[in-house]
Structure 1
Amino acid sequence: MTPMKTQTPVRISPAAELIAAFVSTGPAFGDRAGLARFLRAHRLATEGAIPITLADLDEAIALREGIRAVLENAPEPDPEVLARGQKVLDGLRVTVRLQPGREQLAPAVVDEVRRGLARIAGAWASVLSTGEWRHLRH
């Protein structure tokens, strides 16, 4: 009998954990209240009322679907889905921190929802730069 080979589990970073949670939200994120719950649960927004517009919700969904399209092992992701997600990223304002720390890309916006999306964008940039996105593939 040959011994069983065990794989060393891959420990993912907090940025990768955030991206994994974001892309796996599914219908729980189908309305503004669901988006607010997600943002609060992942400390991307403060407690209390978050004014979320339908446009904010649409942007969050477009970003989620764009990232999900990259993570799915499809040979060619839907270019429209990618374009919508990229448009959201292009519209987010982030700043690079000069000093090393936990969050190198930080939100440069005051709007609570856009700040949360900017943090997700920073996490996405991190998992892309480290190659961790390959471990998040569906």
Structure 2
Amino acid sequence: MTSSSTRTGGPRVLLYSDDQTVRAQVRTAVGPRLRAHAPEIDWLEVATAAAVVDAADRERWDLVVLDGEADKAGGMGLARQLKNEIYECPPVLVLTGRAEDAWLASWSLADAVVPRPLDSVALQSAVAGLLAGATV
């Protein structure tokens, strides 16, 4: 589990994937902040489903980003679990394996879906929209 070392006052995002390269792709695509002169995003990266549930239980998040293609515990099942178990669950963004999986992601109760291959503009737009309270 890694986290930014200082609290920035920016949005807090919980990012789950068992693949470190996927986590890096998401952070690179979104960027360090949502727009120029905005506070930096405070990321917490986790690699296991247990860490997601623990972090969601212990702390408040502005957004949760889940890898729908993660091994053992995919993001779609985790999204549904969080939506059903966390009081005032934050918005959840699920990364799917392909655009055709959006129908399955709707079962997960995700607030937004971004398919692979990850498009930086689509991903950044989805994150910004969810953080602004918009439905993407």
Task: State TM-score, norm by structure 2.
Answer: 0.28
Greater strand fraction, Structure 1 or Structure 2: 2
- The answer to which structure, 1 or 2, has the higher relative contact order (CA under 8 A, 6+ apart) is 1
Structure label with greater radius of gyration: 1
Task: State TM-score, norm by structure 1.
Answer: 0.27
